[in-house]
Structure 1
Amino acid sequence: MFKPLVLLALAFTALALLLWISSQAPPQTAPPVSTPPPQFPVIKLATLELLNPLEPALPMAFPVALYSTSAAVATADMKTAYAANVQVAGVDEEDYVKFDGERLYVAVNGKVYVVDKNLRLLETLDCPSPHCYIFAWGGRVLAIGEVGGNTLLYLYDSSRKVAVYNFTGYPIAARMHNGEVYIAAASPPRVVINGREVNEAPLLSLDFHPNVLIIAGVDLRSPNFNATAYVAGPAAKIYMRENRLYVVTSLGIPDLLYKAVKAVWEDLPGEVRERLDLTNPLTLYVTLREALKNNTSVVEVLNRANITTATRVYIFEGEGPYLRLKAAAEVPGRVLDQFAIEEIDGGFLLATTVAPVKFRVSPLWIPAAPPEIIISQDGVPVAVIRRAITPLSPSIWTSEGEPVNAVYIFDENGNLKGSLTGLAPGERIYAARLVKNVLYLVTFRQVDPLFAIDISNPERPRVLGYLKIPGFSEYLHPVGEGRLLGVGAYQSGVKISLFDASNPAAPREVSNITISNAYTPVFYDHHAFSYNPEAELAFIPYTPYLGGLRILFIEVGSKLRVRAERDLPADRAFFDKDAVYLVGGNRVWKLSYSLEVVGEAVLK
C-alpha cells in the first residue's frame, strides 16, 4: 500500500530536482539580475540613496526596449580585427580603430568607416554616439557608445543593423574573445536594461558615491545579449583570458569602515554597538553616521584596526553572453591598471600599491535656521511658522599614509597561494608587465626602480634584482627574449629606454632616446604604442607642449635608433606584411617600410 506513496514522493523529488537544475542554467532571455554567490547579500538599489542623500540624482534618459533579429553568421570569413596593441594574445580590447589584416575599421565623428588596404572606403555604418568603440569579428561589427548616461550598442552584419541593445551607465572597458564581447559599465543606482528596470542587485563592494556595475555580454555569433547588475566600487578595471573575465574594484569608505568595525568590535562603547547594524556595509555606514552625532571619538577606536586601502577581484566565467560569478578575492592596496593583473598557471596575480588608512570625521553640520514665515492680515501677523532644524550626520573621510607595494598570487578559486610585500616603501607602482615567469614592476619617487620578480614558484615569489635610473616608465613592452622597452617621463619630456633583462638578477638600461618638452599618449593609452617584432620597429606618437601631434619610429636593435620622425597627427599604427597603416581621427595614411607616405585618405 505504500508503493504509490513512494512513487509519488519520488516524482515530487524528481520534479524539485529538475526545477533546481533549471534554475541553475543560464537564462535564455536577458534577465538583468542572476542569482549571486551566497557570500554577497542582495540589496534594494533604492537604499543606496542613503549613502549620500545630498547628492542629486544624475539627469538621465532611461532606455527603452529595443530590437534584435536572429541572423545566421556567415562562416566563410571569421577574421578578428584587433586594436593596435593588446595585453593578451587573442583577446581584443575596446578602441576606436581595428585592423583584421584586410580591412581597417575606424570609428570617428559618429560613423564607422570600413577601409581596405588600398584606402578605399567599403562601408559606412552609424555609431550610437559621436565617440564610440568598436569590435569586429566574422563580418560583424559591434559599435559601443554612450548617450545621455546610457550605454548603447549597435550590432551590424555586413552593412545591415541586426540588433540594438542598451542599459544605463557609461562603458568603462570591454573585451572580446572568439566573437564574445563583454562590457563593464558604471551606472547610477537606478538601472534599466533594455527597458526593464532593475530593483535589486548583489552587493559586492560599496563607496560613498553609489555605483552599480553592469556586466553585459554580446555573442556576435547569435546574436544573444545578457546583462547583470552588481553594486560595486568605482574605478573598475578588467582583464580577460579565453572565457574568464576578471573585474577589479577598489573598496570605498563604507567597506573599509565595515572591516574596521568588525576588527575592533569589542573595543567600541556598548551604546555605540547597540546602534550599529552589521548586516552589510551599507547598513553599517548609515547607522554609524547616526551614532557619530553623539560620539565622534568612536573614530579613534576605529583607527586602531590598522586598515589599509584594499581591492577586490571578481572572477567570471562566460559562455556566450552569459557570465557566472565563480570566485572573488581581496587584497590590500590598489591596482594601477590592467597590466597589474595577469593570469598564470591556472591562477592569477595582482600587483598593488598599499597605503595605511586613517578615518576622519567632519564637524557636525547644523544648517542655518531658515527664515520665519509670517502670515499677516491687514498688516497684523496672524501666524508665524518656524521650521525645525535637522542636524546632518557627520561625514566620514579618509587620509592615507606612506605607500608600499606588493604582489599577491591566487589559485583559480581566489585562494591566496603566495605574496611578496614591502616593496619600495614610499613609492608607488607606475608600470607592470609579466614576461613568462618574471614580473617587472616600475616604482617611482625620485629615481626609477625596475624590479624583476620571479614568480615561477607562486607560493614564494622573490625579487631577483632591480635597476635604478633617472625618470620613470609608464609603460613596459617586451621586445624580444630578455629585453624590455619602457616609455615614460624624464624631466619635462619623454624617455624611451631599452632594458636588457636577459639576466633578471641584474637588469640594465642599454640605450635610450629622449624627447624634450613633450609628452606621449602612451602614458595613459597603451593602444597608442605599436611594435613589429619582425621589423624590430616601434611606433610612438608624441605631442610637443606647444600642441600638435607628431610620430616617431624607433628601430629596436642592440641599441635604439630613430628611423623616422614625421609631422603626421596619427595615434594608431598597424604593421602589415608590406605596409604600415596609420590612423589619426578621420585620417588614414599608408606607409611603405621605408616609412614614406604612399597613400592618404580622409574619412567623411
Structure 2
Amino acid sequence: MRKTKFVIVFIAIVMLATLVQISVRKSEVEDLNIKGFSSPQEFRDYVIGNYPEVTISERVQTLLSSNLPEQFSSPKLEIGGGSEIERFSTTNVQVPGVDEPDIVKTDGEKLYISRKAYPIAKILPPLHFKTIVLKIFPPNEIEKLAEINVSGDLLLYSDVLILLTSDHLKGFDTKSFGEIYSIELNGSLVTARMYKGKIYVITSQYFETCPIIPLKVDGKDFVVECGRIYHPIKPIPVETIYTVAKINAKTGEVEKIISFVGNHNSVVYMSENAVYVTYYSRMPYSEVFIKFVTENGDLFPSWFVERLNKIATYDISEQAKHIEIWDSIRKLMLTMKPEERVVFENELYNRLNNFMEKKAREIERTKIWKISSEMEIVANGEIPGRLLNQFSMDEYKDFLRIAVSVGNSNDIYILDSNLKTVGSLKGFGEMERIFGVRFIGERGYVVTFRQIDPFFIIDLSDPKKPEIVGELKIPGYSSYLHPIGEKLVLGIGMENSSVKISLFDVSNPKKPEELSKFVLKEHWSEVINNHRAFLIDEKHKVFFLPASRGYVFSYEPELKLIKATETGFRAIFINDYLYIIGKKLVVFDENTWEKVAEVDISLL
C-alpha cells in the first residue's frame, strides 16, 4: 500500500509544470517564437486553457480512496561644520552600479530606515510601519529629521527617496520629505533594480482578460493593450501576467512598459547592459509519461501503450490529457491481481527513477530572455536545469555564465550575446544540489551540498571549455559567497544547524584552503538568503553579520568576533564610524572600537 501510494504521488509530482515568460512590444518578436495577443478572446483562451494543473493532489486522493484494490563603495561629500565625509557605504549588491532595494539607505548625511510589514491575517487591523529619517553625522549629533507614514524597500537617487511596497511605488523629496509621485501597483511587487536614474520594476498579477491595467499613475490607469502582452507561440502553462516598467526615478514617469505571461518561478538578474529574466519549465506530464511508456513498452500491456500514444495525438489541453492518462492508469490497475501489482509497482518505481535521471536535461529547462535597457528583446535562449537565485547568472565580456542544478547533479553553461550555448561543464557535485554561487571575473565559485560542502573553483577563462580546477570538501555549506580582493572568498552558511562563517584562500585555484572558520551560536542569519543584509569594510578589514544580535568580525589574519550588539539587522559606515542599526543605533569608532554613540531609535 505504501509503495503504491508513493508511485502515484511520484507520478503526480512529475505532472507539476511551471513557467515564466517575457517578451516585448514589436511584431518582429515572432522571429523569437513569441507574439502579442490579437484579441481579448485569444487572451482568455490562452490564459484559462493553459492554467497549470492545480488539482493533482485532489485526484491522487480520489484515486486512493476509490473502490480499487489497494494500490499505489562611495562618493565624497562636503558637509557643514568643517567636517568632511570622505566615504560611506552603499547597499551590498550583486553588480556594482546596479542598485537594489533594501530597508536601509544612506547618503552619508542622512540615514533612512524602513521596517516592512509582513501581514499574516486580515482579521485584525494591519500594523502601520513607518520610515524614519535621521541626521547621523557627526555621530554625536544624531537627531530625527522626519517620519514618513509609509514603509517598504528603499531606493535613493539624488534628492529622491523611493519607497516600494507590495502595491505602491512612491517618491519623496529628501529635503522637504513631501510626496513627489505615487504609482499604484495592481498586483504584487516581484523585484526592482535601479540603474542610471531609471527604476526597473517587475510586478505580477492574474488577469482573465485584456487589455490590462498593471499600474495607476497618480490615480490614472496605465493601460497595456492586448497586443502589448506577449506569450510563446507554442502554448505553455500560465499562472500570472508579469509587467516590467521602466520608471524615471526623479519624476516617476513610466517611460516604457511590457507585459508577458508566466508563472511564479522567475529569477531576475540585471547587468549594466541588460535585464535577464528566466523561467523554469518542466516538460508537460503527459509528454514525460508517454515518452516513458514508449521506451518501456515491455512493462505495459499493448492496449495501454496504444492508448497513451493516441492521447499524445489529441488536440486538447494539457489538463485534459492529464485526465485521460489518469483514467488509463485506473483501468490498468483494475486488470492486475494483488501479486502482479506488487511486481509492477516495484519495477515501475525503479524504471521511472532511472528514466527521470537519464532524461533530466530534457525534462527540466530554464528559458532566458535578454532585454536591453530600452526594454526590447534582443535574444532568447534555453538551457537544462534550474537556477538557485540571481547569483546563478553573471554577464562577463558579452558572455552569460549560468549555474544550474539538474536531476541529481549540477551544470555550468556559457552563453554568447545571442544566448546560444558555446561551452558547458556538466555533471559535477553528483547527488547534491547548488546552495551557493558567485562568478568573479574569469572564475566561478560553486557550493553544492548534501552532507558535506564541496567548494568548487571553476576556470572560465575559455568560454568554450569551462573546467573545475580546484575542490575543497568541508562540513556544512555556504549560501552566500563574497569576494575579498583577489585571494579570499568569504562564505556564510550553516553547519549542524548553526550559522557558519568560512574564509577561503583561493590564491591557488588548484588548492583552495579554508583559512579560518567561525561557528556562531545562532540558528539563522538573514545574509544566508539576503545578501543586502551584509556589509563589509575592506579599509578596516571587518564585516557585519546580522542574526538575533548584530555581529562585527575581522577577517585578517583570521576570523575574529570583535563586537556584538544586543540587536542589529543592518549596518553602514561613514568615514571611520560603523553604525549598527537595530532597536538602537550604536556607533563605533573603527580605529579604536570604542562606542561613541548610542540612541534608542524607538524613542526618537
Q: TM-score range by the shorter chain?
A: 0.7 to 0.9
Q: Which residue of 1 aligns with 2:553?
A: 554
Q: Which residue of 2 aligns with 1:220?
A: 249
In the alignment, is the contact (CA less than 8 A) between 1:33 and 1:198 conserved in 2?
no
Q: Which residue of 2 aligns with 1:578?
A: 576
Equivalent residue for 1:288, pick from 283, 304, 321 = 321
Equivalent residue for 1:179, pick from 197, 215, 221 = 197
* CA shift for structure 1 position 230: 0.8
**CA offset digits 1:187-245 (Å, max 9, x no partner):** 22345222356574212598766122221221114432143211123222211122411
Q: Which residue of 2 aligns with 1:153?
A: 169
Q: Which residue of 1 aligns with 2:91?
A: 84
1:331 aligns with 2:325: no
Q: Which residue of 2 aligns with 1:63?
A: none
* CA shift for structure 1 position 520: 1.5
In the alignment, is the contact (CA less than 8 A) between 1:207 and 1:252 conserved in 2?
no
Q: Which residue of 2 aligns with 1:70?
A: none
Q: Which residue of 2 aligns with 1:436?
A: 441
1:237 aligns with 2:270: no
Point out where structure 1 has 5 or more consecutive residues left out of the alignment.
Answer: 1-31, 57-75, 278-282, 356-402, 543-548
Q: Which residue of 2 aligns with 1:123?
A: 146
**CA offset digits 1:474-512 (Å, max 9, x no partner):** 111112221111111111311111111000111011111
**CA offset digits 1:365-411 (Å, max 9, x no partner):** xxxxxxxxxxxxxxxxxxxxxxxxxxxxxxxxxxxxxx100000111
SS of residue matched to 2:322: helix
Deviates more, 1:470-479 or 1:155-164: 155-164
Equivalent residue for 2:163, pick from 133, 136, 143 = 143
SS of residue matched to 1:203: strand
Quickly say closer, same or farther: Cα 1:124–1:276, change in 2 above 3 A.
same
Point out where structure 2 has 5 or more consecutive residues left out of the alignment.
Answer: 1-22, 56-77, 80-85, 116-127, 296-304, 333-347
Equivalent residue for 1:458, pick from 437, 440, 463 = 463
Equivalent residue for 1:40, pick from 29, 34, 41 = 34
Distance 2:207 2:87 in 1: 35
Q: Which residue of 2 aligns with 1:169?
A: 187
**CA offset digits 1:263-305 (Å, max 9, x no partner):** 999998664344225xxxxx5x245336436645999999796
Q: Which residue of 1 aligns with 2:130?
A: 111
Distance 2:235 2:105 in 1: 35
Distance 1:527 1:329 in 2: 29
Distance 1:141 1:462 in 2: 44
Distance 2:422 2:135 in 1: 49
Quickly say closer, same or farther: Cα 1:40–1:343, change in 2 above 3 A.
same
**CA offset digits 1:300-350 (Å, max 9, x no partner):** 99979663322122111124xxx1122121111111111111011112111
**One-letter code of the match for 2:25?**
S
1:486 aligns with 2:538: no
Which protein has the bigger helix share? 2
Distance 1:206 1:581 in 2: 52
Distance 2:499 2:309 in 1: 58
* CA shift for structure 1 position 160: 3.2
TM-score (norm 1): 0.72
**One-letter code of the match for 2:540?**
A
Equivalent residue for 1:521, pick from 510, 517, 526 = 526
In the alignment, is the contact (CA less than 8 A) between 1:80 and 1:138 conserved in 2?
no
**One-letter code of the match for 1:104?**
L
Deviates more, 1:97-106 or 1:264-273: 264-273
* CA shift for structure 1 position 538: 1.0
Q: Which residue of 1 aligns with 2:125?
A: none
Q: Which residue of 2 aligns with 1:312?
A: 367
* CA shift for structure 1 position 183: 1.6
What is the aligned-residue RMSD (CA, Å)? 3.4
* CA shift for structure 1 position 49: 2.7
Which protein has the bigger strand share? 1
**CA offset digits 1:105-159 (Å, max 9, x no partner):** 22235433222223322333342xxx5111110101221112xxxx311122342
In the alignment, is the contact (CA less than 8 A) between 1:442 and 1:448 conserved in 2?
yes
Quickly say closer, same or farther: Cα 1:54–1:564, change in 2 above 3 A.
closer
Equivalent residue for 1:192, pick from 213, 231, 235 = 213
1:203 aligns with 2:231: yes
TM-score (norm 2): 0.72
Quickly say closer, same or farther: Cα 1:257–1:326, change in 2 above 3 A.
farther
Query: Where do 1:331-410 residues align within 5 Å?
Result: 331-355=383-407, 403-410=408-415
In the alignment, is the contact (CA less than 8 A) between 2:387 and 2:404 conserved in 1?
yes
Quickly say closer, same or farther: Cα 1:560–1:273, change in 2 above 3 A.
closer
Quickly say closer, same or farther: Cα 1:176–1:272, change in 2 above 3 A.
same
Quickly say closer, same or farther: Cα 1:501–1:153, change in 2 above 3 A.
same
Quickly say closer, same or farther: Cα 1:215–1:522, change in 2 above 3 A.
same
**One-letter code of the match for 1:40?**
I
Q: Which residue of 2 aligns with 1:96?
A: 103
Query: Where do 1:11-90 residues align within 5 Å?
Result: 34-35=25-26, 37-38=29-30, 39-43=33-37, 44-47=42-45, 48-52=47-51, 84-90=91-97
